[in-house]
């Protein structure tokens, strides 16, 4: 990253903020961890503009939660239930503390464990929206895309981030709704099984 100029597409080191809703302006800590790449304010603002009509009352899965910026933003903007999944124990503990502080109604749940194991074991109600932003170097996309559909509603929304210079092909059941990119990241929102509908 060129440090001579600020890049607005990259989150400020150390924290990100919730942009809108009930917890607007709340800062979320971002520890220095390999592969932890919190979604920037600019990208999240675009994403949640796309999602705002379907967020109120939605069940949301943030599968590689990290800082929790995506899932907590969804809760702040009216999602009924948000499930954060994070493998790193210290990150999951921090997320649980943040959720307890912000969310006395307990709309936000934190699961500490492997994302693929969570998908295999989850037996609750299907999710309406899923955020899937794994560490790029981990090679998790094929396994995630195989397991995820069984945990989602029939017309679920799927948000994905992938390297800007690598094409990510999703199964035919996912229709591209919107996409954009920064210098480092391609980000896209898909709808399940409803090509041409909104």
SS3 labels along 60-98 = EEECCCCCCHHHHHHHHCCCCEEEEEECCHHHHHHHHHH
Q: Where are the domains of the chain?
A: 14-192
Q: Is the pLDDT of residue 54 over 90?
A: yes
Give pLDDT, residue 194.
Answer: 58
164-176 burial, b for 16+ CB within 10 Å, e for fewer?
A: eeeeeeeeeebee
The least confident of 43-57, 110-124, 129-143 is: 129-143
pLDDT tens, 120-178? Answer: 999 899 999 999 988 877 788 889 999 999 999 999 999 999 888 887 888 899 999 99
Quick one: CA dihedral 30, 24, 47, 124, positive or negative?
Answer: positive
Give pLDDT, residue 184.
Answer: 86
Q: Is the pLDDT of residue 13 over 90?
A: no
pLDDT tens, 71-90? Answer: 999 999 999 999 999 999 99
Is the CATH number of domain 14-192 3.40.1440.10?
no
Q: What's the whole-model pTM score? A: 0.87
Whole-number percent of the chain with pLDDT over 90: 62
What tokens were used for 59?
Answer: 């069940």
Question: Given pLDDT bands bounded at 50, 70 and 90, which one contains residue 95?
Answer: very high
Give pLDDT, residue 35.
Answer: 54
Question: Given pLDDT bands bounded at 50, 70 and 90, which one contains residue 16?
Answer: confident
Give the chain's count of helices (H) and strands (E): 5, 9
């Amino acid at each position: 990253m060129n440090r001579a100029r600020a890049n607005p597409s990259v989150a400020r080191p150390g924290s990100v903020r919730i942009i809108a809703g009930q917890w607007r302006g709340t800062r979320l800590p971002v520890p220095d961890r390999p592969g932890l790449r919190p979604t920037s304010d600019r990208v999240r603002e675009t994403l949640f503009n796309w999602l705002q009509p379907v967020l109120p009352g939605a069940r949301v899965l943030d599968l590689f939660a990290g800082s929790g910026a995506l899932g907590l933003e969804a809760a702040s903007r009216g999602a009924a239930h948000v499930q954060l999944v994070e493998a790193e124990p210290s990150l999951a503990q921090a997320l649980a503390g943040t959720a307890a502080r912000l969310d006395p109604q307990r709309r936000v749940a934190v699961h500490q464990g492997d994302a693929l194991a969570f998908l295999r074991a989850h037996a609750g109600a299907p999710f309406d929206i899923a955020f899937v932003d794994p560490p790029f170097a981990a090679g998790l996309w094929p396994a995630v895309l195989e397991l995820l559909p069984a945990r989602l509603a029939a017309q679920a929304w799927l948000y994905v981030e992938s390297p800007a210079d690598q094409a990510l092909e999703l199964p035919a059941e996912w229709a591209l709704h919107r996409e954009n990119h920064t210098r480092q990241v391609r980000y896209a929102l898909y709808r399940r099984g409803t090509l041409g509908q909104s």
